[in-house]
């Protein structure tokens, strides 16, 4: 598949307009400025005050977003209407008003804001809502509008959900002139950690690391049965270190792996589903996870390294399930792998690209040894600079003398690599930053009105005193809110709406109040927040919206609905893993009391969980020992669910059922 087609797919799902000429040059300069501003601030450990960083971050992102994202995707064109230029200028000026008046605004917070302050607040909120509609998700913008209306008109709502209501001035002040709304934790994380990791990913991609990861994956797994699909799983797991976007991951590795899967015999709707199932795993794959993981660390007040360690076993569990599902499909259809001649040699690949691992090693080492994420990622980004400089020089020296470029040409090539990486980093943060800004509105309304406590009370009452229904409620809330909504915004919403219900239940089960429970067990909220992240990522695979699966279907030229259903089945581990680590937090490896009995219990739970997902995959694919009948598929799925269910007796029954059906199928196959 050619580059032109890939770009069409990316444009289809991003909705960006293609600009050229002087406008494109201007936007490149703004995007480069955005990246340089954050790199300099990160390198000098907070050179600018946090207020200035937040305001400038939103100003530059807003300006870029109104240029890149048209009013309507259906009528999108590469022409730039004058009203978008006006909106881009307004998007730049409104946050900068806060920069130039920040001292006066602090003084007026005590004495009273002016009408100009309130006008700026109203304009800022409206601009963020429109930016979200264009660049992130119309559904997210609608949710934000509903919450604002709730804050103003809830006095008309009877019962528990009602409250006296707030004036529009109070709402505007809370959401734009304080740190409780748009400029709260989500945008703060976007403006500090996340943007730097996106820039790091842009530099690593520009250095050629993506091809190295894909070549490694194919050299290791390409010869196996159904090799291209297994290579797609491995490559997507590796690509998760440089891409925090499911769709970006799909379009990067999928344009190469999906055609190969089809060529080896996989059906288009399965080939198109494997890549999104694996690619969404990039957001839960340590060491560099999606943006939501950094917001989680900030919200819980723990180092990012804690989140990174906690995510290890669940990520292994998920990718094990995806890999095994692909393996069963290949065996079911007797699919071959690639020949030796079609595959790169592992040793040669490592020799050619071993240095791509150095930035990742530096990043992991600094994160684990206590460096702040800002300092760690800036250091890792700087370690890529020698690669960008040395690689074109080395490649030029290997050419015949008469084909070599001049020193000036090499210098120009190096400079363009740096500038394009800075530009891609600045552009890459737009949708994410906008989603964080509007999520701040929703969270701000929840803190202003106390709506989060009311939702928790309702969920606890509806659960009948059981934890499992609350987990189901959490999953449904994440999947509904995640329809077309970026994972980061989904996590922010559901960690505010749904996660407190799980935490409150656990506190009550321990016989403690919420405050006392969190004081005694500071990491007690981690399983609930990790569950929200998993279910949020799963929304990209779950029909009917399933954006990542739709991107895979576009590449595979397959039926979108069938592709989404297959992606749901292949990625079933995202729905199962939270059940395991909510009931058994020791699976997350942090905050647990690792006594011998606890270690043994954790090992037993994990053994049952891994066998359980194997059984469920057997039922989903329709093959385990041999092709299954509908009844056998049902037995496999039921046995797997029982092995993952938290009760020991259920696990034993599930294992016995699984063992019995495997034994019967083996006997039947031998007889045949």
**pLDDT of amino acid 154:** 86
Q: Is 450 left (phi over 0), alpha (psi -120 to 50) or beta?
A: left
pTM of the model: 0.85
Residues 6+ apart with CB under 8 A from 259: 1, 555
Residue 75 clears pLDDT 50, i.e. is over it: yes
Confidence of residue 123 (pLDDT cuts 50, 70, 90): very high
Residue 130, Cα to own-chain centre: how many angstroms?
A: 23
**Residue 13, pLDDT above cutoff 60:** no
Choose among 587, 641, 585, 648: nearest CA to 614: 641
What are the tens digits of pLDDT across the range 387-419? 999 999 988 888 888 888 888 889 999 999 999
The kind and range of the H/E element at 304 are helix 304-310
Q: Residue 576 — pLDDT band, cuts 50, 70, 90?
A: very high
pLDDT per position as a tens digit, 334-387: 887 777 777 888 899 898 889 999 998 998 888 888 788 888 889 999 999 999
If pLDDT is split at 50, 70 and 90, which confidence band does 4 have?
very low
| CB-based contact 532:498 (threshold 8 Å) | yes
Looking at the predicted structure, is the pLDDT value of residue 73 above 60?
A: yes
Residue 564 near residue 550, CB atoms below 8 Å: yes
For the chain, what are the domain ranges? Answer: 187-424, 593-672
Q: How confident is the model at residue 493 (pLDDT cuts 50, 70, 90)?
A: confident
Of 336, 335, 337, 329, the C-alpha closest to 628 is 329
Determine whether 387 is exposed, middle or buried from the number of CB atoms within 10 Å of its CB (0-12, 13-18, 19+).
Answer: buried
Question: For 218-268, what is each residue's pLDDT tens digit?
Answer: 888 888 887 878 887 887 777 765 555 667 677 777 777 888 888 778 889
Among 139-143, 148-152, 156-160, 607-611, the range scoring the smallest mean pLDDT is 156-160
pLDDT at 2: 42
Rg, C-alpha atoms of the chain: 26
């Amino acid at each position: 598949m050619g580059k032109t087609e890939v770009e069409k797919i990316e444009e289809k799902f991003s909705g960006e307009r293609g600009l050229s000429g002087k406008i494109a040059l201007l936007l490149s300069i703004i995007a480069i400025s955005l990246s340089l501003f954050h790199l300099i601030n990160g390198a000098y450990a907070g050179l600018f005050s946090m207020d200035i960083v937040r305001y400038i971050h939103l100003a530059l992102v807003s300006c870029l977003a109104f240029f890149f994202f048209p009013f309507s995707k259906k009528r999108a064109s590469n022409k730039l209407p004058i009203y978008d230029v006006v909106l881009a200028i307004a998007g730049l000026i409104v946050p900068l008003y806060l920069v130039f008046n920040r001292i006066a605004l602090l003084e007026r917070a005590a004495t009273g804001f002016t009408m100009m302050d309130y006008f700026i607040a109203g304009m800022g909120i409206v601009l963020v809502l429109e930016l979200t509609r264009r660049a992130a998700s119309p559904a997210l913008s609608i949710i934000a509008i509903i919450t604002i209306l709730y804050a103003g008109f809830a006095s008309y709502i009877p019962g528990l959900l009602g409250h006296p209501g707030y004036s529009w001035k109070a709402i505007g002040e809370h959401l734009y002139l304080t740190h409780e709304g748009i400029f709260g934790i989500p945008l703060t994380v976007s403006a500090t950690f996340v943007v730097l990791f996106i820039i790091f990913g842009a530099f690593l991609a520009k250095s050629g690391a993506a091809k190295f990861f894909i070549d490694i994956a194919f050299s290791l797994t390409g010869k196996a049965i159904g090799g291209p699909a297994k290579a797609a799983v491995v490559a997507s797991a590796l690509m998760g270190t440089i891409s925090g976007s499911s769709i970006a991951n799909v379009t990067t590795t999928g344009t190469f792996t999906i055609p190969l899967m089809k060529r080896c015999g996989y059906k288009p709707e399965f080939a198109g589903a494997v890549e999104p199932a694996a690619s969404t795993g990039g957001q839960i794959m340590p060491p560099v996870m999606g943006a939501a993981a950094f917001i989680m660390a900030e919200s819980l007040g723990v180092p990012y390294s804690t989140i990174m360690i906690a995510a290890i076993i669940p990520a292994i569990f998920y990718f094990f399930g995806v890999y095994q599902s692909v393996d069963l499909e290949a065996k079911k259809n007797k699919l071959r792998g690639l020949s030796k001649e079609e595959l790169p040699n592992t040793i040669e690949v490592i020799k050619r690209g071993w240095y791509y691992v150095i930035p990742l090693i530096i990043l992991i080492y600094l994160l684990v040894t206590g460096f702040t994420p800002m300092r760690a990622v800036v250091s890792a980004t700087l370690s890529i600079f020698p690669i960008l400089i040395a690689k074109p020089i080395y490649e030029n020296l290997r050419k015949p003398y008469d084909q070599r470029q001049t020193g000036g040409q090499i210098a120009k090539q190096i400079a363009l690599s740096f500038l394009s990486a800075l530009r891609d980093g600045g552009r890459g943060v737009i949708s994410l930053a906008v989603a964080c800004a509007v999520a701040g509105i929703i969270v701000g309304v929840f803190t202003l009105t106390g709506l989060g406590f009311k939702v928790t009370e309702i969920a606890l009452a509806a659960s009948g005193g059981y934890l499992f229904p609350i987990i189901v409620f959490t999953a449904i809330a994440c999947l509904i809110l995640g329809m077309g909504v970026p994972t980061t915004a989904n996590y922010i919403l559901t960690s505010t709406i749904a996660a407190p219900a799980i935490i409150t239940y656990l506190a009550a089960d321990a016989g403690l109040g919420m405050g006392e429970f969190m004081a005694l067990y500071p990491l007690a909220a981690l399983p609930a927040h990790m569950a929200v992240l998993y279910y949020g990522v799963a929304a990209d695979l779950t029909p009917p919206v399933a954006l990542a699966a739709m991107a895979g279907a576009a590449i595979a030229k397959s039926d979108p609905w069938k592709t989404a259903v297959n992606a749901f089945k292949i990625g079933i581990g995202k729905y199962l893993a939270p059940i395991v680590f909510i009931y058994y937090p020791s699976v997350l490896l942090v905050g647990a009391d690792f006594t011998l009995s606890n270690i043994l219990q954790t090992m037993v739970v994990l053994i049952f969980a891994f066998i359980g997902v194997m059984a469920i995959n057997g039922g989903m694919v329709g093959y385990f020992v041999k092709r299954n009948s509908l009844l056998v598929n049902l037995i496999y799925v039921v046995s797997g669910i029982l092995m993952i269910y938290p009760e020991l007796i259920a696990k034993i029954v599930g294992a016995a059922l699984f063992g019995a059906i495997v034994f019967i199928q083996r006997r039947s196959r031998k007889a045949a």
